């Protein structure tokens, strides 16, 4: 389940990933170095896929999960209960890695690993804040924001109700006064990529 060496022995590396995944499943969001984040993401996705198993092998799946994670009495019921139910219609992509600024001191790349559609889903909150801002400015949603909203609505239960509550919270929290709206910079629509144009080579033309 582990592929990167992470500058550790095999047993230490395995213990590190087990600890990260256990904390991710328990708290739904953790911060670590980018290399560790990618390993934790891979391991967590496999465990969640295992937890979604609804067959006569469910007990065997729980035993396998217990051997990998720490604090099974706390995490196993959540993994095979709330988390498995949350992702029952999602085929894959249960976790997300978001890059952060490098860590102070050693300048190591850092990232957040989070459970998608969880209570600490950062992208959910950031998208709600963008929508709140655009609505307060009386502007339509740009295509990137529309795509983000569509992803939120696709698999999350009660997505529209939860998202609208978050948007209203963001309006009250950040854009409740006329000054907070007036001082906002304008929204710049991302440029569309120009299509590749084939240019005729005169040398090739003359050689024919």
Average pLDDT along the chain, 208 residues, taken 10 residues at a time = 56 91 94 93 95 82 92 94 93 91 82 90 91 92 93 90 95 89 70 52 49
Query: Which CATH superfamily hosts domain 10-115?
Result: Ribosomal protein L17 (3.90.1030.10)
What are 128's two structure tokens? Answer: 């709600």
Q: Rg (Cα) of the chain, in Å, rounded?
A: 23
Q: Residues 112-161: pLDDT tens digits?
A: 999 999 888 888 999 999 999 999 988 999 999 999 999 999 988 889 99
Helix (H, G, I), strand (E, B) or coil at 104: coil
According to DSSP, residue 79 is labeled: I
Per-residue pLDDT, 11: 85
Tell me if 28 sits within 8 A of 118, measured CB to CB: yes
d(C-alpha 68, C-alpha 141), whole Å: 43
Per-residue pLDDT, 5: 53
d(C-alpha 102, C-alpha 52), whole Å: 35
């Amino acid at each position: 389940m582990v592929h990167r060496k992470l500058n550790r022995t095999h047993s230490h590396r395995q213990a590190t990933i087990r600890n990260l995944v256990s904390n991710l499943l328990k708290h739904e969001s953790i911060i670590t170095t980018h290399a560790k984040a990618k390993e934790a993401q891979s391991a967590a996705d496999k465990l969640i896929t295992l937890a979604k198993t609804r067959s006569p092998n469910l007990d065997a799946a729980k035993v396998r999960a217990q051997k990998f994670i720490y604090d099974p009495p706390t995490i196993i019921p959540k993994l095979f209960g709330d988390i498995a139910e949350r992702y029952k219609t999602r085929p894959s992509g249960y976790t997300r890695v978001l890059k952060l600024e490098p860590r102070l001191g050693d300048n190591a790349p850092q990232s957040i690993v989070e459970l998608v559609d969880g209570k600490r889903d950062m992208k959910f909150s950031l998208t709600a804040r963008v929508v709140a801002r655009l609505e307060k400015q009386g502007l339509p949603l740009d295509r990137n924001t529309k795509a983000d909203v569509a992803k939120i609505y696709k698999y999350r239960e009660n997505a529209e109700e939860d998202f609208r509550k978050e948007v209203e919270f963001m309006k009250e929290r950040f854009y409740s006064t006329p000054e907070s709206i007036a001082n906002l910079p304008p929204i710049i629509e991302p440029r569309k990529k120009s299509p590749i144009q084939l240019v005729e080579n005169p040398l090739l033309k003359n050689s024919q």
